[in-house]
């Protein structure tokens, strides 16, 4: 994996562990020679990921919508800052530039990005791993809900391994490196669906 898209919140929660987590993830990826592709912001966890990676000499590509770039939110310290027309272009750029996705804690935007990455993998728009860093149990309920969707039958058995959840970055990266893409819906027969 040469580059990973990092999805995380632009907010700064009161609990400082989240900012420190984001900074340490950016730093650890840079130390492993893995470039960061992220939302291009300088605030919250997004800014901390970029700061950590840049501080460790890593590549950081920010992809930010034009509407946010002009509001003093854009991180001009990035190795490369791409300004795109909107959110659809932003998410397409994340997929085009990355070899996988890691989700750190975040809110609605982070969830949107994560589920789209999973959905696109199911369909066959990409074959990259989607990682969920479940630090501090932040995603416990989401992991349980994903399992529930599978148990009910809304996530096909072939696609139940797309979302990879771990509590530490090292374990998550190891599992992502070992990821074997599953058969996408585009390649399935009607009888398999």
Domain extent, residue 53, equals: 3-192
> Cα(33)–Cα(133) distance, rounded to whole angstroms?
19
Residue 182 has pLDDT above 90, yes or no: no
Distance of CA 142 to the CA centre of its chain: 15
pTM for the whole structure: 0.94
- pLDDT above 70 coverage of the chain, percent: 99
Q: Tell me, what CATH number does 61's domain have?
A: 3.40.50.450
What digits encode the pLDDT tens for the residues 97-109? 999 999 999 999 9
Tell me what pLDDT residue 189 has: 77
pLDDT digits (tens, 9 = 90+) for 31-42: 999 999 999 999
The structural domain count of the chain equals: 1
Taking Cα atoms as reference points, which of 154, 157, 146, 164 lies closest to residue 188?
Answer: 157
C-alpha pair distances (Å), 71 with each of 44, 74, 79, 81, 120:
15, 7, 20, 15, 30
Q: Output the CA angle 87-88-91, nearest 5 degrees.
A: 85
């Amino acid at each position: 994996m040469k580059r990973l898209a990092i999805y995380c919140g632009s907010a700064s929660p009161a609990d400082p562990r989240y900012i420190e987590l984001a900074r340490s993830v950016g730093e650890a990826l840079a130390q492993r020679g893995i470039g960061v592709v992220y939302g291009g912001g300088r605030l919250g966890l997004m800014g901390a990921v970029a700061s950590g990676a840049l501080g460790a000499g890593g590549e950081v590509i920010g992809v930010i919508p034009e509407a946010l770039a002009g509001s003093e939110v854009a991180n001009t310290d990035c190795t490369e800052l791409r300004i795109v027309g909107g959110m659809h272009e932003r998410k397409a750029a994340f997929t085009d530039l990355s070899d996988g996705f890691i989700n750190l804690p975040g809110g609605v935007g982070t969830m949107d990005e994560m589920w789209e990455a999973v959905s696109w993998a199911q369909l066959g728009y990409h074959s990259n791993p989607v990682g969920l860093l479940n630090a501090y149990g932040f995603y416990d309920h989401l992991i349980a809900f994903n399992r529930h969707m599978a148990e009910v039958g809304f996530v096909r058995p072939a696609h139940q391994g797309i979302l990879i959840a771990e509590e530490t970055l090292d374990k998550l990266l190891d599992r992502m490196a070992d990821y074997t893409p599953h058969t996408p819906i585009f390649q399935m027969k009607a009888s398999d669906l």
